[in-house]
Amino acid sequence: MRKKIEILAPAKNLIQGIAAINAGADAVYIGAPMFGARTNAANSVEDITELVKYAHLFKVQVFVVINTILYDNELALCRDLIHELYHAGVDALIVQDMAILEMDLPPIVLHSSTQANNRDPQHIKFLKDAGMERVVLARELNLDQIREIVKATDVELEFFVSGALCVSFSGNCYMSVANGERSANRGSCAQNCRLPYELIDGNGRLLMQSAHLLSIKDLDLSDHLPELIEAGICSFKIEGRLKDIVYVKNNVSYLRKRLDTFLSAHSDTYQKASSGRTFYNFEPQLDRSFNRGYTDYFVHNRTQKIGSWDTPKSQGQPIGKIIGQKANGYIIENHELLNNGDGLYFINTNGDADGAQVNIVVNDVVVFNAAKEINLGTMIYRNSDAEFNKMVEQEKSAIRKIGISMVFREADYGFILTVIDEDGYTIEEALVADKIQAKSEESVLSNIIKNLAKTGNTVFTADDIQVDIQANWFLPTSQINELRRKALDALTALRIKSYVRKEKPIGPTDHPYPLENLDYTYNVSNHLARNFYHRHGVKDIEKAFELQWNPGKSRVMTTKYCVKYELGKCARFQRATMGEKLKEPLTLKHGEIEYKLKFNCKPCEMEIWEKEAEFEIIDQDEQLGYTS
């Protein structure tokens, strides 16, 4: 049996969900009215129900995100919402809190959110055995680690392949709540990682000033789809439930084309996960919508610098360098790519990230909407492509259709239209009519075919039409059109009725969890989650950070990203060129907020601690086993 490979798209709302489906998504994920990790992307159950109806026409799945941690007074409300979503027809829930596995649930499929910090094979196998149908893997994993997980369990694996990156291990960032009582695990991340910081060494020396030291580039693994499929990934996830419709359509369309190329070359082993095909009137290109520059992160281990220190905002598409100045404008390489109204990004003469809008392009001169101080040789990027945005925003920029074949033939009582779609669903519709010879000798075949092909605003497109009649019968156009309409309406209803949603009852399990003691990073915030872990052999469970906030003493982030590596001071990978060691501890400072950095070189991780925290600073050489 061929393995289904899926593109999973974000849906901020119903409109963007439909747009993602039309652009070629095999599945979409959308926020519920509450309990989603993006509070600004919540949706009513009524809108989700409408999205489900449209999605299931194409055998596209709809996943609803309920991935915040839950408090005791929210458990009943969450349970009732899950029952509503089940009856709305959703295919699966994406969850973080283990309390959900303790609830009286309908037989709905559950996916473990990346917020559950899914990195370890034993942890992931545990989740599968507890009832999870799919696990959304941590973004930091490399191909070898994914293969190790596949060896440990046969659970479905989902992996992010494009969009913004959380610098922290997902679910383990507490910067927001530590500095303003806005919890990322409760859907209210304040994005402290995108702020500018000073970097100060252990001697109090200022190393960096006003740099976005925790901001990293966006993810693009489109070149690595074949490797990821080979490693065991079945679902490619696009980040972006807060992004605009141009971003969603562009990302989905780009990945659809890349994946379809692979699937067509490996059709004996893999197949598309949904029905229909998309017709585009634009050429998708990732860097023409929001991006901070791109990285393949750690899929091939640590190979490059990934920081986006100049700005946390969109950098966009590289255009060219400024090579001259004329009158009140600039001469820019590849200026012919620019249009009036484009937004530009560059570094100004002060070394700061800056921007402008193209007012007009006259011959080779680009005139900005405001005066800017820019040096010759400065690289110009376009972070808002006016013409591209206008084109992609159009509803018909990406149209999805299901292929059908039609057979129109005679019957004793008149005529029959048989319609078969690409999935084999079949409808027959009869036309009771007297057979009257056409007065004109001109064949009626072309008129019948032309009118049957008018599938219009339906989700179908006629790939093949056959007409089998014995004489040149007179047939009014209105009758042919009505016959086609009734047949396609019936086929639409049949597809919706015939959709089979996978269901999976969840029952209590008691297999041992890999650990006996859980600290606050396991985010246990209610009695049901505590009961769950106790039943699986866990003895000591610390409360979630949100329930025991203790300023000044906590680790607020763990990350694979490393400031030392970005500075060229990594003893593991840059020993030959690193020069003088940095005096630790390094401190990040933004206004009155300060953090200390701790470097764990063996697992190649960096920790961020509140300023009053105390920890032992271990020399890099000692950690790595080097001797002087």
| Helices and strands (DSSP H and E) totals, the chain | 14, 30
Edge to edge, the sheet with strand 605-610 lists: 206-211, 197-200, 586-590, 593-600, 605-610, 555-559
Mean pLDDT of 54-83: 97
Residue 27 CA to residue 120 CA, distance in Å, equals 26
**Residue 439 pLDDT level (bands cut at 50, 70, 90):** confident
Mean pLDDT of the 476-484 span: 95
Given a cut of 60, whether residue 611 has pLDDT beyond it is yes
Distance CA 624, CA 627 (A): 9
Beta bridge partners of 110: 93
pLDDT band of 627, cuts 50, 70, 90: low
β-strands 398-411, 379-384 pairing:
unpaired
By mean pLDDT, which of 36-45, 87-96, 546-555 is the weakest? 546-555
Host H or E run for residue 219: strand 218-220
Q: Give the pair of three-digit tokens for residue 149.
A: 């997980």
Query: Both tokens of residue 59?
Result: 């055998």
**CA dist., res. 358 & res. 345, Å (int):** 11
pLDDT at 625 over 80: no
**Tens digit of pLDDT for each residue in 102-111?**
999 999 999 9
pLDDT in tens, 151-189: 999 999 999 999 999 999 999 999 988 887 788 899 888
HSE-CB for 197 with a 13 A CA cutoff: 24
% of the chain surpassing 70 pLDDT? 99
Across the range 386-410, mean pLDDT stands at: 96
If pLDDT is split at 50, 70 and 90, which confidence band does 371 have?
confident
Give the 3-state secondary structure of residue 212.
coil
Predicted confidence (pLDDT) at residue 296 exceeds the cutoff of 60? yes
State yes or no: pLDDT of 525 exceeds 90. Answer: yes
How far apart CA 388 and CA 142 sit, in angstroms, is 34
- The residue among 188 and 319 whose pLDDT is bigger is 319
| Fold classification of 3-189+214-288 (topology level) | TIM Barrel (3.20.20)
Amino acid at 527: H
Least confident stretch, 303-307, 334-338, 546-550: 546-550
541 band by pLDDT with thresholds 50, 70 and 90? very high
Band (pLDDT 50/70/90 cuts) for residue 624 is confident
pLDDT value at 628 more than 70: no
Q: State the Cα torsion 263-269-272-273 to the nearest 10°.
A: -150
Phi-psi sector, 541: left (phi>0), alpha (psi -120 to 50), beta: beta
Q: Looking at residues 248-277, what average pLDDT do you find?
A: 98
What is the domain partition of the chain in residue ranges?
Answer: 3-189+214-288, 308-384, 402-498
* Residue 551 binned pLDDT confidence (cut-offs 50, 70, 90): low
pLDDT digits (tens, 9 = 90+) for 358-369: 999 998 899 999
Q: Which of 31-40, 188-197, 306-315 has the lowest mean pLDDT?
A: 31-40
pLDDT exceeds cutoff 70 at 502: yes
3-state SS, residue 50: helix
471-480, 519-528, 616-625: least confident range: 616-625
Q: Tell me the pLDDT band of 552, cut-offs 50, 70 and 90.
A: low
The answer to whether the CB of 301 falls within 8 A of the CB of 604 is: no
How is residue 481 written in tokens? 């059109």
CA geometry: angle at 52 spanning 48 and 57, to 5°? Answer: 155
pLDDT computed for residue 438 by the predictor: 84
* Axis crossing angle, helix 45-57 with helix 477-498, rounded to the nearest 10: 110
pLDDT given at position 145: 98
Beta strands in 276-387 (DSSP E): 277-280, 294-295, 317-326, 329-332, 343-347, 353-362, 365-368, 379-384
Cβ neighbors of 392 (< 8 A, separation 6 or more) are 245, 246, 249, 250, 282
Mean pLDDT (the chain) is 94
Q: What is the pTM of this model?
A: 0.95
Q: Which of 143-157, 430-444, 461-475 has the lowest mean pLDDT?
A: 430-444
